[in-house]
Amino acid sequence: MKLTTEQKLALVPALVIIVTMLLLTVYLDNIIYKQIITTLKDDSIKQARIVARIVERVSPQEYVPNVNDDGFDNTYSELRAEIDLLANDMGDIRITVIANNGVVVADSELKATELRTLDNHAQRPEVLQAVKNGFGHSIRISDTVNITYLYTAVTDLHGWPYISRVSVPMSTILAQRTHARWSLALGTAITILTALITTIILIRKLHISENLRSDRAKLEELVRVRTATLTELQDLGSMLAICNNMEDAGKVVAAHVPRLIECGGGALSLVNSSRNLLVIEHQ
C-alpha cells in the first residue's frame, strides 16, 4: 500500500515518540545507575562506621601491627571473629580492617594466616581518600581475590589507628541495574507498541477516508456529467420546440450535438410526438 502525504505525516508522531523513548531510556538508565552507586556508597559508609565501633571495642589502640610479630594472629583474633559474624549478618559484603601503617589486621574473606601474605594497603585509593577526608570510595578489581568491588573506607571518629573498609561486589550492583533496565525496557516497549498500534489504526482510517474521498469525487463527477447532459438535452428540446421547419431544427441540433457527444463520435435520435424520427450522426 502506497502511503499518502497524510499517512506519512501520521507516522511522524510515532517516530518522534519512539526516538524520544529510546533516548529517555538511555538517560534514565544512567541516572538510575548513578543513584544505585550513590545509595550504596551512603549505605557502605554507615556499615563501615559500625565496623569502626567494633574495632574500638576489641582492638588495641597503642599496638602497631606487624605481620612478622609472633603475637599478630592472637592480637586480632577477637576482631576477626566479630567482623566474620557482622559480614554474615550484612549479606554479600566484605569487611576489611587496616591499620594506619597499611597492614591488614582482619578480613572477612581471608584466614589469619593469609593476612601475612597481603601487600601493604596504605596506598589503596579509598584508603588514601579516607586518611585525607575521613572517608573514601573506589571501584576497582581486588588484587587479593580478583573480584571487582565498590570499596568504601572510613577512619575512626575517636582517633583509633585503624581504617574500616566495606566492599560491595559490583555483580550485586549490576544485578540491581539489570532489574531496573528490565523495568525501563518494559515501559519503553509498552509505550512504543502503543504508539505503533495507534499509528497503524490512524493510517488505516486515513486510507479508508482517502478511498471514500476518491469514491465521492468520482460520484460527484458522474453526477456532474449526467446533470450537464440532462441540462443540454432540456436546452435542445426547448430550442427544437420553437423551430418552424426541419432546416431550423437541423441548425439547432448541429449546434448542440458536439456538446452532447464529446467523445468525437456517436449518434443522437430525436422522436417527436408524431413519431417522426430524426437521426443525427456526429463524427
Phi-psi region at 186: left, alpha or beta (left = phi > 0; alpha = psi -120 to 50): alpha
120-135, pLDDT tens digit by residue? Answer: 999 999 999 999 999 9
Phi, psi angle pair for 97, to nearest 5°: -115, 125
- Look at residue 174 in the predicted model and tell me its pLDDT: 80
153-163, pLDDT tens digit by residue? Answer: 999 888 888 99
198 sits in which H/E element: helix 170-241
Those residues with Cβ within 8 angstroms of residue 188's Cβ, 6 or more apart along the chain or in another chain: 21, 22, 24, 25
182-217, pLDDT tens digit by residue? Answer: 887 888 888 878 877 877 777 777 666 666 677 677
The burial of 192, by beta-carbon neighbours within 10 Å (0-12 exposed, 13-18 middle, 19 or more buried), is given as middle
- Look at residue 267 in the predicted model and tell me its pLDDT: 62
Average pLDDT over residues 69-88: 87
- Look at residue 262 in the predicted model and tell me its pLDDT: 64
144-181, pLDDT tens digit by residue? Answer: 778 889 999 999 888 888 999 999 988 877 887 788 88
- Look at residue 46 in the predicted model and tell me its pLDDT: 93
211-243, pLDDT tens digit by residue? Answer: 667 767 777 777 777 777 777 777 777 777 777
- Look at residue 143 in the predicted model and tell me its pLDDT: 79
pLDDT higher at 60 or 53: 53
- Average pLDDT, whole number, for the chain? 80
